[in-house]
Structure 1
Amino acid sequence: MADLKYLFNPRHVAVVGASHKEGKIGHTVLKNIVESGYKGKVYPINPKGGEILGIKVHESISSIDGEIDLALIVVPASIAVSAVEECAKKGVKFAVVITSGFSEIGNIGAEKEMAEKARANGMRILGPNVFGIYSASAPINATFGPSKIRPGNIAVISQSGALGIAMIGKTADENMGLSTIVSIGNKADITEADIMSYVFNDEITKVIFLYIEGLENGREFMDLVKKKPDDMQIVAIKAGRSKVGARAVASHTGSLAGSDKIFDAAFKQIGILRAENLAEGFNWVATLAACPKPAGKNVVIITNGGGIGVLAADACEKYGVTLTSDMELLKKTFEDVMPKFGSYKNPVDLTGQAGGAEYREALERALNEDNIHAIIALY
């Protein structure tokens, strides 16, 4: 089977179902590839021929002379299987099947047939029912989502296409950069484990943000995560907590949600941070992507309000964050930067009269203290 490097760094790309009509998915995908600065050859495929965006359109993928590493399939479900087979026979290494209408609506047979035809010719499939793939290293934006994606050190792997597109928008709003974003959809072939195994070896990626609805092979997934680099973190949102949610998952991507308690225990065992929702997940990802890994476990909260400090302390206990209780250390570090009615106990309360100068002094002292490994500053 083909090396995954050709999925993330394809030398030449085809868009099967490229559309002449602006606003169609087949047009948007092609336009995003071109505008992302992709350096390889791009082959639009459409039986009508002609030109799209000034690029010659080929009537079929078999009519192309050169090699193709990646094909984006953007045709109706009724002809998607034959399109995949044609790509496989051409020698295409990877097909990203954007087309929906397969196992998520009960059309399991066609999805299996698609995967079998690809596998028989040595081609791998991402999807179906996906929004595409973005890779900063290529660079290539082969999605029908936003055209402008900020490069960075966060990898997003999403089983939900719509949620993945929303994640692109959110990262742009928050000035968070992406190393890659991959939509895995129905997982007829390539799974989140396959993508993660590649990303683990990516020197750019620091954090993986994972949205999943179910796992086909939980043990394989756990064994893989245990091999991740020590300096790489994984934040996950696992949907389908409730019975109603689990039923919705089945109709969305055709996945089985599985026992939520089992997922909770498994994630804790292998060191995955499970976020309750997107807002929480993005906060964690942004922090992990921007901050170095602490040298130890001693954490100090610095605040100018007692109540918010208590809430932060509660959250620390909930998530297993160790607040240092070394009173000699705390007194030595903070006693001189607060009024007498302040508190150098942890949380460190600089009191409501503390302004920028007091915070700067307290933070500088904490950062220069080797036995304080991380700081939570609240204002």
Structure 2
Amino acid sequence: MKHLFYLFLFCASVINAQIVADLKVQGNKKLKTSFVKKVSKIKSGVKLDSAMIEADIRLLKRLPSIAHAYYQVFPANKPNEYNVFYNIEENFTIIPSANIYTTNDDEFAYRLGLYEFNLLGQNIAFGGFYQKDVFDSYALNFRAPFLFSRRFGLAVNYQDLTTLEPVFFDNTTADYRYNNESIEALGLFQIDFNNRIEIGLNYFIEDYQYIAGATNPSIPQELRVKKLLYKAIYAYNNLNFNYQYIEGFRSVFNFQYVTSTNTQQLPDFLIGWNDFSYFKRIGEKGNWANRLRLGLSTNNDTPFAPFAVDNNLNIRGVGNLIDRGTGAIVLNTEYRHTLYEKNWFVLQGNAFIDAGSWQNPGGDFSDFIDPDNLRIYPGVGLRFIHKSIFNAIFRIDYGYGITPDATNGFVFGIGQYF
């Protein structure tokens, strides 16, 4: 009966031009009421519109600070005026992050972090991480998508990342200590409910130091280069969230132009990739999740190619940064099923296939169908989910390679893999 009343109410509003007397926010504690009103289209004095209210609720349910949201409508004191109530179920938003990667080659790396996703009650994300992957790394991140208004925001990131990088040339490999220190600033703009863009600059210094392996006179053993990266991101997001379940389509296109002070060893290049994501509910407890990445860069014949093959990025079980290329095609598909759910806790199982292929530096498109460049890793995993803490999903995945010379291993982390 309640839903029929709302349907009647909104149909009548079209005829009678019924007006919103006030927007009231309930259930929020840390999240500021002023913030909810700032990002909502429904405001005092506007026409009562069910489509506008539904759009507000979908936006609120996407925010890290909100576990769930719903609305109610009640008559106000004056004729043809109504109060709209947005009811908020908050997430706990001070969240540790952890990722651990292992393979049967006894590789071991981890990343530990701490983030606040609702700083000052304004849905501002701030935090950082420490990473141990042979060497020490750390980063700080600030992201405020609604800092200036409902549409305009800002992101600033600092990173000092050091890893042991395999460098591939002449059918041989050398190990380098790689350091990337960067500072980045991005302007964030929300075009409408489904579309947003980010534009900004990243200034960074890359430092390569030879450790062991093959050598070649044309490949420097020490290299320190200052670079400037121009970045543009366009995202279309039509995902709908209901606690652990996701449904809909998302596309994120990332384009970068990188200039270098050493164009002989690390020439200027363009790089772009698009992540297509599709989620579908299967019955009451199932969720089919898919991600397809298509990427290309300037096809320089360099051992420092930008697309990596790595446990944490694309192929679970493959190892820690085992190869590089100037192009990538990667498909991750998995079926997630709720095995147990009670109150705030959910146990979810998943079965997945991660598959990808890369274009060799200086190669051509036929590299994508070369069996030597193909990796296929099926696997299974578990998810331990807290429904009222943002991104509180502890995951364990085991990937087993079925292509030649494959590895296998566990990947641990917080949050869904994609």
**Normalising by structure 2, what TM-score?**
0.23
The structure whose residues are more often helix, as a share, is 1
Q: Which has the higher strand share?
A: 2
